[in-house]
Amino acid sequence: MKRTVAGLSLIAAAVFGVVAAVPAPAMADSTVTLTLNCDGNCTGSWAWYQGGTLLSSGLITGTSKGTTVQPAAADSVVLGLTQPAGKEACGVRQGFSFSPGGHVNFIVRLHELPNAYHFGCFDTFSMKS
């Protein structure tokens, strides 16, 4: 009896143009590869956001590769790169936006010539899913 009622409901919905609400599949967190290339001792940082609310953040140091988790709900990330370089550190910080659950492929670059405050800084920090 229940099968018949369910079947009739689907037929009626099709005949009268009723659209059944089907929930979207849940997005899952994904793994992102981090690559830090620097001369000396530098630090790469990241912070995942959804609508301006911080979801998670982290750091990577030295010249290395690593991974982090991209929260499925994240819609932006801020990448930072700093290097101690004399009296004053070199540094850059940049934000990137994307669709939640979307792939990321971002890079920040330090390209600062030597001056009275610091040595030259020529480093990169990238993130790719």
Q: Write down the pLDDT at residue 74.
A: 97
Say yes or no to pLDDT of 13 above 70.
Answer: no
Consecutive H or E run containing 5: helix 2-16
pLDDT exceeds cutoff 90 at 111: no
Which DSSP state fits 74? -
**111 or 107: which leads in pLDDT:** 107
Region of 13 (left: φ > 0; alpha: ψ -120 to 50; beta: rest) is alpha
Above pLDDT 90, what percent of the chain? 53
How many C-beta neighbours within 10 Å does residue 75 have?
Answer: 17
pTM score: 0.74
Start-to-end CA span in the chain (Å): 50
Name residue, tokens 């990330």. 77
Residue 22 has what pLDDT? 46
Mean pLDDT value across the chain = 81
Per-residue pLDDT at 114: 80
Cα-Cα-Cα-Cα dihedral sign, residues 64, 97, 74, 45: positive
Whether pLDDT at 4 is above 50:
no
- The C-alpha R_g of the chain, in whole angstroms, comes to 24
Q: What residues contact residue 47 under an 8 Å CB cut-off, 6+ apart? A: 54, 56, 57, 77, 78
**Would you state the structure tokens that stand for residue 36, as one six-digit string?**
């830090």
Extract the tokens encoding 57.
């953040």
pLDDT band at 118 (very low <50, low <70, confident <90, very high): low
- Report, as an integer, the average pLDDT of 53-68: 92
Single out the residue of 110, 95, 86, 129 nearest to residue 36, CA to CA: 110
